[in-house]
Chains A and B, each alone.
Chain A
Amino acid sequence: MLFEVENLTIKFGGLTAVDDVTMNVDEGEIVGLIGPNGAGKTTVFNLVTGVYTPTSGQIRFRGQNLVGLKPNQIAKLGVVRTFQNIRLFKTLTVYENVRTAGHLRVPYRLPDAFLHTPRFDVCEQETHEDALRLLDMVGLLSRKDEIASSLPYGLQRRLEIARALATRPKLLLLDEPAAGMNPQECVDLIEFIRDVKRDFDTTILIIEHHMDVIMNICERMYVLNFGKLLAHGTPAEIQVNPKVIEAYLGEAQTDAED
């Protein structure tokens, strides 16, 4: 098993945001994580990537315990995320965003950087070419010199995924990649995520609200509600699960009262 979460719980004061969640992801899968607003999906991501430390429970990646590691250490192990509200290096160019993220695979050290040694030259040439290749694969090569924050919204999302890919993650966590996208952009995104999985040989765990996106690309999915795991199964099973329907309809009812 590539990635396992066992009895994961976090309490903020009296609120149990994630309550006894157990889930797993196998190598090469695309797994969905859905649930109504406030169900604790992003909190799960924050726990997995070390932003929060769980109150109890275990997170294991390739058998190694991730609890207690810092976010950068977890990223170094190959678990890399994107953010719900895009976090690019805003004033840098598209190319610089991807190049910066490629740092993990650059072995040279500080003295090489001071003196620009032969080793520096070799590594820099490689990462430069690698960044261009990556931008080409994600279709951003023609816009490589544009400032990241000036890109259209959909492309900013794409760039954020590209930046995560520059670290060559084993497990990619996508937090609502289709948020704010129109139907056409959603279709493109589905294609894109499939391409990413194939070209980068990575496993993907994805939070999403757009059901057409998630039903389309996920092999399995987990449903969270009020921090608890509500259901687990294939998209077809989830669609007819009465508990899931109730959770979503229940939410719709409170909306109607407002």
Chain B
Amino acid sequence: MMTKTNGFVRRIIVFALEVAAVWVIGSLLREVLPAYPVGIMTIFCINAVLALSWNLISGFTGQFSLGHAGFMVVGAYTSALLMMKAKWPFLPSFITAGLLSALVGFLVGFPSLRLVGDYLSVVTLGFQYIITAILNNTTKLTGGGLGLPGVPYVTSLPVAAVTLTITLWILSNLVNSKQGRCFVAVKEDEIAAQSVGIDTTYYKVVAFMISSFFAGLGGAMIGHYMMYLHPDVFNYAKTIESVSMVILGGLGSLTGSLLGAMCITLLPEVFRNLATFLGGMGMLGPANFLRRGWMVFYATGFLVLMLTRPQGLLGRRELTWPGFKKWIGRVVVRKEARP
């Protein structure tokens, strides 16, 4: 029993050190690097939180929600308004944003998670449009369609990176637990899950609430990064962005979501820079084509990936240190084995 407690304390200390290290590295990078790469890294961290949260409900629990942006927007406006109108400090506003999103997740999830498959997708999609319509029409509080300017800037690289670290830690703890296994059981076969005593409705609602909580945090970070909010920022395309990150990385893989978020955050920048580079070299034709038509490459790339590797880059596997070492070992052995 004693050693178990020590194991827990040690893990908490290690995690605290990790968070501290991430904070320090984030702050250093912000000082040292130009604004452009720092911005990309910050956006990556936000996107990763959003992808991870969608992965929990859809990748692990198998409930294909299309209302993710709806939960982001709840978090975004909650945190922004609490700081602006109620003069709350950042941290309580931020956490309240997550909690309110989770509450909304409960209200949406409790009745609709009895639905299966496509029906759930349609209901959650409908929820997202409803919430956008509400925000567009509550002009006094949220500025409505005029948007909400003057949101305080808080989401610096260290803040975003630390939020991502904590999200990843909590979610990886969760999926490696009894509850995590029940989520997967719900995805695998609901009838079989019930037959061994798993309360599928309960686990679906719980997964939905936790997913909404982190979506709310992600949305709040977006507001505090852009310093401006508009209901239409959180449209259907915003949901699909998170969805594509998770599907690219692999449904049901946390590190896959990180990888997917990285690819989808970086890809437009790579094309943009390539276009600028080609333009600088005097190749104006290809440069202009890239600038206007990079989406074609992006879409084609996605199609090819889905045809050749429908389970995503990682599938259900996780990238881990021991796994990485083994892989390196295999590569080395293969090279040595060559005559």
Binding site for B on A (CB under 8 A): 49, 51, 70-73, 75-76, 80-83, 87-92, 96, 99-101, 103-104, 106, 108, 110, 112-118, 120-124, 127, 163-164, 166-167
Contact = CB atoms under 8 A, between A and B. Distances in A.
Interface band, chain B:
20 to 34
B113 interface: no
Interface stretch (B191-199, B239-247, B276-284): B191-199
Contact of A100 (B1, B170, B185): B185
B5 interface: yes
A117 B1 CA distance: 12
A114 B197 contact: no
Contact of B180 (A80, A113, A127): A113
B192 A88 contact: yes
- When A and B form their complex, which 8 residue pairs have the shortest distance between CB atoms, in order from nearest? A113-B177, A75-B197, A89-B188, A87-B192, A71-B194, A101-B196, A100-B181, A76-B197
A92 B184 contact: yes
Contacts, number: 107
Given A89-B184, A99-B181, A100-B182, A80 B11 contact: no
Contact of B178 (A71, A103, A121, A164): A103
B61 interface: no
Given A89-B185, A122-B1, A113 B174 contact: yes
B180 to A, nearest CB: 7
Given A100-B181, A116-B8, A121-B7, A83 B174 contact: no
Contacts of A81: 195
B118 interface: no
Nearest to B180: A113
B196 A80 contact: yes
B173 interface: yes
Contacts of B173: 113-116
Contacts of B177: 108, 112-113, 116, 120, 124
Nearest to B181: A100
B206 interface: yes
Given A113-B173, A113-B177, A104 B185 contact: no
B179 interface: yes
Contacts of A113: 173-174, 177-180
22 contacts: A49-B195, A71-B191, A71-B195, A75-B197, A87-B195, A88-B192, A89-B184, A89-B193, A90-B188, A90-B189, A96-B184, A100-B185, A100-B196, A100-B198, A104-B197, A113-B174, A113-B177, A114-B173, A115-B173, A116-B177, A118-B1, A118-B8
Given A88-B189, A110-B206, 13 more contacts: A49-B195, A71-B194, A72-B194, A73-B197, A90-B189, A100-B196, A101-B196, A110-B179, A113-B177, A116-B173, A118-B7, A122-B1, A122-B4
A29 B169 CA distance: 49
B200 interface: yes
Contacts of B5: 118
A173 B48 CA distance: 45
A72 B200 contact: yes
A164 B196 contact: yes
Nearest to B199: A72
Nearest to A173: B195
B151 to A, nearest CB: 29
A72 B197 contact: yes
Contact of B8 (A91, A106, A117): A117
B154 to A, nearest CB: 24
Contact of A89 (B11, B192, B197): B192
A80 B197 CA distance: 8
Contacts of B199: 70, 72-73
Q: Which of B5, B184, B188, B206 has the most CB of A within 10 A?
A: B188
A16 B179 CA distance: 40
Contacts of A166: 196
A83 B190 CA distance: 13
A116 B197 contact: no
Contacts of A89: 184-185, 188-189, 192-193
Contacts of A75: 194-197
B316 to A, nearest CB: 8
A164 B194 CA distance: 11
A103 B179 CA distance: 8
B195 A100 contact: no
B182 A87 contact: no
B14 to A, nearest CB: 12
A87 B200 CA distance: 16
B15 to A, nearest CB: 9
A91 B197 contact: no
Contacts of A116: 8, 11, 173, 177
Q: Which of B174, B193, B200 has the most CB of A within 10 A?
A: B193
Nearest to B172: A116
A122 B195 CA distance: 26
A231 B197 CA distance: 33
